[in-house]
Structure 1
Amino acid sequence: MSSNKGYYNQNADQFIAATLNVDMLELHRAFLRHLPIGSHILDAGCGSGRDALAFKQQGYEISAFDASESMARHAGKLLQQEVEVKSFNDFEEPASYRGIWACASLLHVPAIEQPAVFARLWHALKPGGVLYCSFKRGNGEREDQGRRFTDAEPEDIQLWAEGLPGLTSTDIWFTSDQRPGRDEQWLNALLFKSGQKLVSGGDSNPFLPHLCAAIHQAREIDMAVAFVKTTGLRLLLPDLLDALQTNADKSVRVRFLTSDYLDVTDPEALRLLMLLQEQGADVRIYQTEGSSFHLKAYVFAGVNNEIGEWGRAFIGSSNISRQALKHGLEWNYQVNYPGDTGFFEARQQFDRLFVDSRVCALSDAWVDSYEARRIKPTQSFEPGSTESDPPPAPTSVQQSALKALGLTREEGYQRGLVVLATGLGKTWLAAFDAKQMGARRVLFVAHREEILNQAAATFTRIQPQARIGFYQGHQRDIQVDILCASVQTLGKAEHLDRFKPQHFDYIVIDEFHHAAAPTYHRLLNYFVPSFLLGLTATPDRTDNANILALCDDNLVFESDLFAGVSGKLLVPFHYYGIFDNDVDYQSIPWRNGRFDPELLSNKLATLGRAKHALATWRLHAQKKTLAFCISTKHADFMADYFAKHSVKAAAVYASSALSRGEALEQLSDGTLDVLFSVDLFNEGVDLPTIDTVMMLRPTESKILFLQQLGRGLRKADDKSQLVVLDFVANHQSFLHKPMALMNQSMNHRELANFGRKAEQGLLDMPDGCFINYDLQFIEFLKSLDSGSLQADYRNLRDTLGRRPSLTEFYHSGTSIQDLRRQYGHWFALVAEQEADRSPIEQHLIQKHASFWQELMTTNMTKSYKMVLLEAFQELDGWQQAPSLVELAEHSWQVLQRRRMLLSDLPDDYRGQRQPPKDWLSYWKKNPIDAWCKGSFFNVEDGFFIGNLIVSENEQMAFNELVQELLDYRLATYQARARDTEVTVTPIASSPSHIELAYFPNLKIACGHFKTGRADAEEYRYLGPEFERLDTSRHFIARASGNSMNGGKEPIEDGDYLLLEVISSESAGKITGVTLAIERQDEAGDNQYLLRKVLKDDDGQYRLKANNPDYNDILVTDALREQFRTFARLKAVLDPLQMVVGQAFMREEIPALFKTAFNPGSWNSGHVVIPEAQAHVILVTLNKQGKAIDLRYHDHWIDERHFHWQTQNQTSPEGKRGKEIIQHESLGIGLHLFVRDNKLKNGKAAPFVYHGRVRYQKHEGSKPMSVNFELMD
């Protein structure tokens, strides 16, 4: 063959030009129709690489070789991967390929050697594989223009292939040469190797990888199983969710059928299937009703543009349980099309069963009903039928965080930030805390769909009965208990407007380090939850400085990487910082903290670097390695290089042939040693068996670095430590890694000191951990010592990859005093160092220099100046001046959020929910007057006016500059405050209540629920006895008219009605129930009725009014279409149940008890209303101005108990005294109304209604001193 090799080396260009564009489509189709998409194909004797490229572009994994150096070099360039130089005699590989393509290459092998070469290729072919070869038709051997040929006829192929083990069939056909001017005939042959159609299960051949592979490749996925266990479904859920993520290239249909057979299916699994349904799957239930349902069928189909339709079905014994999918001895027979038309029979049977009359759609209502009637099996009748995971419980770190969150809410904080290292369970913590707080409506916000899916699954485990929905892409779930929302969608104003600001009482912002972005700001400024939790793994205050202000500077809890290792929650790590001497990073463009991605990918995907990585891996790696790459090209290159050097390696990314689930399973079971990944495993995936992490790319941030590191820190059996192989270099992009590892903010001098400590082995590490940097990187760190403001600025900018904020500059340890002395203010230094800042910013920095200097230097004995300025900014004061009243009230709100600043207030102001009566006067004296003494603000006609002139197009940039200095001043002020002991004043919590939508009449209510909006114009509160109501279904409306005013349960005009929306999921029975009904008459006019539904003996329905003056309505067939039931009556409410916490003037209170105001009796503090069986107690706490003997001793004991002193003539023996003491047995209600002062702004102050109270004890007589307890 040496003459052939010489010919192709000398004539490669001419040969390639003549053959590169030959139409091979039909031959490709004939070959590929037998191979699933993603199969590994070997192009044996690849020539120009023409065919290998076509296969690769269709989604197949390619390896190639050629005997000619010139041809291999050209093919490598075309494929952008390595092509080996070897002959057929050099080829020797185990069964590695699903397809082998030997097009016009075996024809150069002498006839006597053909059987041996066929045997070598056959040995490299996997069971079920196919070998293609082609020869020029003819007999014998010949030489033509310096090349040797072996021509063949069909009988030659059969002879050479004789004795190949497992050869099931051979297809042979002839084609004509497609090149112009050529008339040769070509002999084509496909040789088929018998496959393993039986998946036998067990540890050697588990079912799970086969399912994951099929899910990844299919466009139609049908599953029918007798039961689903949560343990098994979680194994499939990531791949199913990936499949349902629609994109332009692939739209997948998923149909899922399971049953209630023997009550084996887990309700929690059904809730997870509801999440799958939210993403577009069609999930249905076969209701057995005493019959059996033993199906275990998995049917997959797809279409390839080149080869047409393909199908694969598994029929066997595996339900969806962990045991059945991973370890159990379960047999599942594989049926493939083309090849076996039985596939269509299986699919047709599934189609019939999916629409069977006993099948219904999965819904929350069905799951609720199933869970209520289910009798959990106690004995296993089938493998996996009783398996379950223990109920989730918080870890020790999570328990500490939960305690801290409870305390912070007791102290009155409404926002808080929790910092947890990757692997410590941030999402679990949020789910536990939402349950701990008793949150009814939860909003979970993240920036990636994968995180939202994971959060939904986590919340399902903690609150399995909660209704969970999504707000992302085209999904618009609203009436749910837990809403998982994409910030990119919900952060838009048109979507926020669909919710009332108080709609959610608990909000979680995941990856809170992103919260400085404008979309997050809109969301944070819009919603007013009872509590907002920010979650991040950001390791230090340099990163937290800006985002902490968004959580009102309330860092609730922090547990870093070292704490997780020390607490035995994470495994120790051995970190190797490998100097990357094969890449010149300084030559790659680096802007805004990122390298040019294409140039970086080209620099990283080189043979020299791959060789270095392989040598390092062999020296340090353990058993299961996850490697992070910069691009798909880089991942493919590395996987190919490792595989060529006998390492079991593969690449996985969003569009890779290998699915994520299949890849993880292969890594777990030892099929793979190394998995090269792009983006798929940065966050949100649990990978406990990973024991080595290899970082083959720079990371743009500490967060990304810690996320990648955290993939291997999970604990697992037989795993004592994690090995980290991190390729670093002398470039600023690598400086955040030491800071992330040590959880420390470091300036360049501190980084240099870190380098010296690392060199001497003096780093303070948890037991079992060590950090070992190559000497070249240590020398780079030691060289970072600098001695000027300008150098400190540039170094910090290089470390962050962007312009630092003043707060970050302050936290880096640089002298701000030196900054002020040299530059006057921060932005002067910024302007000098950032020549490419926007013209608007440069103009603002110069124009308002004196204001920036004033903000940096103004005296702050208290925080008030900056609190006022923050309130002014939030009120958009630079564009529209706020009134002093508005500014003072909003400043009070800022103080309530920033609880650490409450210590600045006078003692008698602390702990108050509302601003004290003299708050405006107090705020005018300081800081309003303080700001107005300068030239930047003044007061005119009761408005606080900023004197700086800022045009509309400059406004946003100006606000950001002001906020940057404001954040710095508050950060430094609070740092000083932390040096002294600060007592945070707690605020008494309100009684638990539920907030329901309120409508003035049924017409408005009906119209509201037709629109599907999440909020109403008005809301009413109900007490704890109603807290189990579903706020998405229950509402309050006023009765109109007297048609139901009669009988034992009359409903009067104006009564408050508690109603429940009727839907397909909450229909229930209607006979004997009072319903709200919409009636549309023949003229198209709508009426809204309240009627009781009765059913006559003949089955006819009647709508009955309680008032005998109104006739019953017989619902005939002709009238049936006119009626639509939309709500059922649950109760007629006492108006007092809805006004707890509301304020009323004295003259407004009698109407609550349906009596008239009489000044003679209502000007006292104790009013008895016999007809209402009520005592009304009216209390003014501050009684200055009253006679000494009328200053009763009334006060709150705590948030639930009140001490009240009666009027002087009241005794325990008297009528009033007895009614107070015995009120419960007498059926008398005691109602407490309280106000702080008699006057407010010179006018009578209103009383706040605190609800009914219960007598506890009393002392004395004339007057009596009585202790009350607020009633639930």
Structure 2
Amino acid sequence: MNDALTNAVLAGLADSQYPANNFLGPRLLTNSQQETIWQELKRQLADCRGFAWTVAFISADMLAPFKLIMEDLAQAGISGTLVTGTYLNFNTPRVFRELLKIKNLTVKVTPGPLHAKGYLFDHDGFQTAVIGSANFTRSALLANQEWCLRISSKDQAGLTSRLKAEFNRLARDGQPLTEAWIKDYELGWQPGQQHMLHVKHASSSIKPNHMQTEALAALDQLVKSGQHRALVVSATGTGKTYLAAFAVQAYQPRRFLYLVHREQIAKKALASFKQIIGGPASDYALLSGGQRADPAAKYLFATVQSAARDRFLQAMPKDAFDYILIDEAHRAAAPSYQRLMGHFQPDFWLGLTATPERMDQQDIYQLFDYNLAYEVRLRDALAEKMLTPFHYIGIRDYEKDGITSTDASSLRWLGASERVDYILKELDYYGYDGDQPRGLVFASRQEEARALAQSFSQQGHPARSLTNQDSQAARQDAVQALEQGQLEYLVTVDLFNEGIDIPSLNQIVMLRSTQSSTVFIQQLGRGLRLFPGQTFVTVIDFIGNYQHNYLIPLALAGQKISKDQLRQQLSRPDFAGLSTVSFSRIASEEILRSLDKVKLDALKELKEAYLERQQELGRVPLLMDFARGGKVSPLLFIENKSLKHYGAFLEKMGEACPMSSYESQVLSFITRELATGKRPHELDLLKELFALAARGKEARVAGKALQKRWQALGFYDSSDLRKSLASVLSLDFFNVKSGKTTVKDQYGGEPIVDFENNADYCLNPKLLDPSPAFRRLAADAIATGLFLAKNYDASRQFTLYRQYDRKDVCRLLNWPLDVSRPMYGYRITNQVCPIFITYKKEEISEDNKKRRRSAVYDNQLSDGQTLRWYTRSPRHLDSAEVQELLSGVAIGRQATQVLVFVKRSDAYGKQFYYLGEAAIVPGSAKEELLGAKKPAVGLDLKLRQPLTPRMYDLLFAD
């Protein structure tokens, strides 16, 4: 560590040629899309043995995620000290009270105008300091243009000694934070000007925001192009009612009808439209169960229940309205809406919804002619500051004797007094923005909701349960009581997933299993509407032993992604704008357990994604449709072992894809071996050959012409690559056993492309006049592969930090044969040695003996750049392959190129991250006895490219 630290400091401050450790060297920290200062502080906290901070300003909106980390640190017996002050009255009495809740944090308040911002972390044998402009506020740590310097030093270093001495002086002179001190401070505290910045004042003139302007332009274009229907998807709270009013104002209809399922929403919409459009009050009318509308009104706002009645429809001709808007349009497939849509014939129908996805598979997009005019999802809205930022806190549900809540937990467990005590303690600990909690609690069943509301109230937190058995008047009364502060919590069972407007909510509490990503986002969005003076919403998710826990990171990702990507979400959660996502260590383990039991690329999951995309497009979607949009990656189809190709999936969905057996085999080859896009060369050649054949020309490409084409495209090229291309497309590369046949035979057994006279590439004559289905699906697979290839650097064999499996590596190293099956951990061929390392062997299944034996290889990352790696056993220092590896190492001329591929554990599948080339450290080779006392040789591998913090977190962080 001493040498690594010394080199890192020298590389940062003296000469960049020193072998730097990315985690120890000096580094300028800023906020960007790739990295924030908060992420660095989180990383340091997770690895520290203690910390000492001096921070002038602290905001309540940054304390929730900090508290979660502190709770995890408390479990490990780690504590810290914070010195802050009262400069400019920035730190509120509430902030000090929230800090007092953190039991493993000692807080000192120093007199005088403290304006320092420094974060000092103790590690084993060294310290890391982060010093600069960033206070402990959400804006400073996540968004502002801040500069902070991170620098590490040894215990005995002068910088460390000076920092500690200065901190100790401040702490010694500081006043311990106590409730008595806070009360005295509160008496004289006056809010500084900065505390008034968040209050939003109503504008006398409402104008479209950036996203509304884009949506209005898209709607205008649809109208001008002669379309008669359109759908706008806009997250709850993003101003879709104002957007609708602006759209209607621009259209200037003769008569307008607004339809929605609830009178409360219709009333609010009427007020918003009147505010935007203006005009006399007589132009506006409300039609509902208790209201009779003026038939002459220009703008009619109606509940669908009233508008669908015979009396109303019989009085209204089909062309009574030239513009009709359906709010909450995901309900438009219901019979009452369909009756209205069947009766009226306006010039234009507009649908508005926050969640077009329906679990009953009704095609909402079809109802609006598949014209998706605009889409504002949750991430977009948060990034555009259209919603209140949230802090999501995922913690474990109440645990007793090693048992947590499950989907089958009894009411006796869910309503137990010990569980209620635990819930209330956590709600108080993570807090809320405001003077008192205004929380919406989602419970798992009605009996639980009633029991929790009663227990909350008995413990001094007034609460009321609401279920579908309560009347609309009772619901409105409860919401009003919450907004007026008479209640602190409403406890419900999926009742308020949509159609409820409680802008003052400051806590969302989830006490139920997540059964749907859509419902999760609906519930999350309940409290995100902008509200004067409110800067954040706390979302607390109590995660039990639920079967569908994996849906939580899936919903937060906003897309159906692979298991590996979901694990990344857990190891490094992030979100848009000023929102944060945090999981406790134990909650993460609960989610990982549920993730291990599910198959995300199962046909059921893919069918749901297919039907959803089909509804959006109004036609059969192809792989490229998933690449360009939708909520599923095309790789989930491509890598599904039960599917030969996408055509096989389409046939399961009832779509005929007639093609010959040989065409099916070739399509399978293109899909499984090439369409992942890890090398674009084969795809580009096939694209050109198929295009020539389709135009009736000779399907032949000259080798020299291909080289020029690759040069123009910036593709990597070499004579070995061209030999590999011929080997792959002739299928000779796949002439390896797979069951009773070879892989080559499974792909047709004959060359797809012939390499003639070492000069030209020619397409197999069987593919010159293919079936329409093959032509379409092959072109789609090739286009998708080339689209995915944009994620890789085509000018190199491998792209740093991208994923490859063993077969990919064999092909990209231009080896003549796929030898991935017998390769195991490494293989030396032509002075190149790819090494495959599974870092955390302890996560391997206990019932797999072959893999369990490999757990004796302890591949440790010592400094962020150097890995201890072991050969297979038995091997000795004088073994031929060891000598080949060590050739030239002692004199600095390593003969064998070592390429390092790493995955965190076997639970992460077959894909390894490419960490680049590595140099064998001279003198590090030692013969060691491993496992059953068999000898192996250990070597230190120093990565030529030091790991980035992101990759370290993903692969090596505990």
TM-score (norm 2): 0.39
**Going by fraction, where is strand more abundant, 1 or 2?**
1
TM-score (norm 1): 0.31
